[in-house]
Amino acid sequence: MPPSNKKPLVFVTRRLPDHIQARMMELFDTRLNESDTPLSQGELIAAVRSADVFVPTVTDIVNHEVIAAAGEQLKLIASFGTGVDHVDLAAATERGIIVTNTPGVLTEDTADMAMALILAAPRRLTEGDRLVHGGSWQGWAPTSMLGQRIWGKRLGIIGMGRIGQAVARRAFGFGLSIHYHNRKRVHEEIEEELDATWWESLDQMLAHMDLITIHCPSTPATFHLLSARRLKLIRPTSYIVNTSRGHAIDEAALATLLEQGNIAGAGLDVYENEPAINPKLLTLDNVVLLPHMSSATLEGRLDMGEKVLINIQTWADGHMPPDRVIESQI
């Protein structure tokens, strides 16, 4: 930590909610990115050379090169976000730099958006919106804009952590049959509460679901977890939703299967190479595409910012921050 008579120099890579920035400037010697444009690797390196505390977001790639260039005074990377796959934790640990995140505050917001996509894709909500806004709607007709019923369908949840369970609770209320695949089976009480069925085999679950939603953490093991081979196991009448990480799905393979009608539709909020999106997806009517906005609520962003402030202040006071990330936990 810095000397007790000196405020730590904190560098923030993107614009945060006004209240959070104001508090940060009151508490610390803060440098802000007023332009709110993503920083280049060179700009990230320049920032870590002078900062005591570095506050990146999930889109800032804090890799080995950036951490290796950090000054000796950098002791805390207080990331604004839950995921930490953008930070080289091993390199940070080697340099004695603590890494923190903002866990738990986005669970309900992300679950809300996943449920919205679970409803939107089968019921063709965005297609209907485009029809009306485009001036092409000619009025109600018995066979117009037919979608798929949600009630009674089977939902397969990949990853039954906090967000997966929150989605399951919402989906249960919509009459969906809850199924899940997880590295470890959840507690019996949770299964009973949600009437949830565990599938040890992801392949087998995929082949039997009407809807699939992804909520797994970002690790090397989850890269292309839904590979081209696994995507082909999904039935032509089924839908897939992703509010987790784009690279959990082989996006090119998914686009091809959607185009061919081998998967009925998809609702996507994240992408493999975002902000770039596979051009094929942009041409398809059976895909709902959102701009990585599952966590985008004012309340959520404020809660995230408060956690960042607490992590920095706790460190500055000479204590271990409450949201320290340890590599073995990821």
3-state helix, strand, coil in the chain (%, to 5): 40, 15, 45
Q: Which residue has tokens 């405020």?
A: 7
Residue 174 in contact with residue 211, Cβ under 8 Å?
A: no
In degrees and rounded to multiples of 5, residue 4 shows phi and psi of -60, -25
- At 265, the amino acid letter reads G
Q: Catalytic amino acids? A: 245, 274, 292
- In angstroms, the CA 19 to CA 31 distance is 15
In degrees and rounded to multiples of 5, residue 68 shows phi and psi of -65, -25
- In angstroms, the CA 214 to CA 157 distance is 6
Residue 32 in contact with residue 9, Cβ under 8 Å?
A: no
> Which residues are CB-contacts of 94 (< 8 A; sequence separation ≥ 6)?
none
> Which residues are CB-contacts of 183 (< 8 A; sequence separation ≥ 6)?
none
Please measure the distance between the N-terminal and C-terminal CA atoms of the chain and give it in whole angstroms. Answer: 25
- DSSP letter string, 249-316: B-HHHHHHHHHHTSS-EEEES--TBTTB--HHHHT-TTEEE--S-TT--HHHHHHHHHHHHHHHHHHH
